[in-house]
Amino acid sequence: MLFTADHDEPRRILQKFIAAEINPFVDEWEEAGQFPSHELFKKLGNLGFLGLNKPVEFGGQGLDYSYALMMAEELGAIHCGGVPMAIGVQTDMATPALARFGSDEVRREFLTPAIAGDAVACIGVSEPGAGSDVASIKTNARSDGDDYVINGGKMWITNGVKADWICLLANTSDGQVHRNKSLICVPMRTKGVEVARKLDKMGMRSSDTAQIFFDNVRVPKRNRIGEEGMGFTYQMVQFQEERLWGAAACLKAHEYIIAETIEYTRNRKAFGKTILDNQVVHFKLAEMQTEVELLRALIYRAAEALIAGEDVTRLATMAKLKAGRLGRELTDACLQFWGGMGFMNETHVSRAYRDSRLTSIGGGADEVMLTVLCKMMGTLPGAK
């Protein structure tokens, strides 16, 4: 069993925190286009939620991945996508490789404050010309004695406006594209780092997303995570947790929209009966609830395999693909049942419709997930 009685208390604490410290302010943060990340992360850090499965010696709880998955699932109860995504970047996207492969020195400098909530982290992989195609990034870190000198730019960086440091993927040599990259922790206040602009997004409105430039940014090589040239491999490992997190965070969000749609259609009448009384409506909602449970089963299976030390690339990829597709279908169907009110920004279903669209793009587009699966199945033309 993935979850036990030991998960009940942290789950209850997190649910209480979300209800008191996040949901009452979501509408305000969505309107502002940002939320107080340093303040909120510090509160989460004080409760131990930013390092549930991180090493104890750096401030983490030292628990297995099931606790991180529990947290991701509960964050789906937040009434927007932007805030949970920002938290997920901190816990499951910018820090897993650092926690697993970083030296003690670099973990003390960057991981410890991230776990404590004293520093906000972001992950720098995507570029204007290289989103899902990670191997094609152009940002480079040239060796200069004991330092790297970084030039290039990153795009669509969640937490990028307010971040204290970035886990940056850069080319550190001219070798093969899968063996010439390194992950480097770069303080955002370093000379030459420029947050060029805060991006205006269709959804995920409450999260700050940035375009960042690096102009002769000098950082010590000791800031590198693990071995030079292993950055692509480390990032692919890190993607497993990111994709599982992204899928798990959808579960309660989807269930909430289904429940709200049931309540609304039960009380709205047309042509002499409630909208819910139409078979096309209650059948579709039952089908969507079934799909959520199927996705949950896949995620839990992947999590159990990850805890057992198995490579979960296949299952995590499937979960990410399914979560994105389901989010698009479910929110579209529910919005339709809300009629004109579904098109109003004041409704949660409208927000969910906009926010859920990113799941099929961020962390690897659907088409990349399908390519990965076809390679593993041996059905991709030209793949060995």
Catalytic residue among 74, 109, 241, 242: 242
Could you tell me the pLDDT band of residue 338, with boundaries at 50, 70 and 90? very high
pTM for the whole structure:
0.95
Instruction: Check residue 384 and give its pLDDT.
Output: 65
Instruction: Check residue 129 and give its pLDDT.
Output: 87
> Residue 310: what are its φ and ψ, rounded to 5°?
-85, 155
* Tokens found for residue 192: 């030459």
Characterize 43-66 residue by residue with b for buried, 16 or more Cβ atoms within 10 angstroms of its Cβ, and e for exposed: bbbeebbbbbbbbeebbbbebebb
Let me know if 242 is a catalytic residue: yes
The amino acid at residue 378 is: G
Could you tell me the pLDDT band of residue 113, with boundaries at 50, 70 and 90? very high
pLDDT at 383 over 80: no
Is the separation of the CB atoms in 82 and 204 below 8 Å? yes
Could you tell me the pLDDT band of residue 131, with boundaries at 50, 70 and 90? confident
List the one residue out of 350, 343, 294 whose CA is nearest residue 81. 350
Rounded average pLDDT over 340-350: 96
pLDDT more than 70, % of the chain: 100
Q: Could you tell me whether strands 121-124 and 165-171 are parallel, antiparallel, or unpaired per DSSP bridges?
A: parallel
Could you tell me the pLDDT band of residue 50, with boundaries at 50, 70 and 90? very high
Q: Could you tell me whether strands 121-124 and 181-187 are parallel, antiparallel, or unpaired per DSSP bridges?
A: unpaired
Task: Tell me 230's DSSP state.
Answer: B
- pLDDT tens for 197-248 read 999 999 999 999 999 999 999 999 999 999 999 999 999 999 889 999 999 9
How many residues belong to the chain? 384
Q: State how far Cα 39 lies from the chain centre.
A: 20
* Tokens found for residue 294: 């199927």
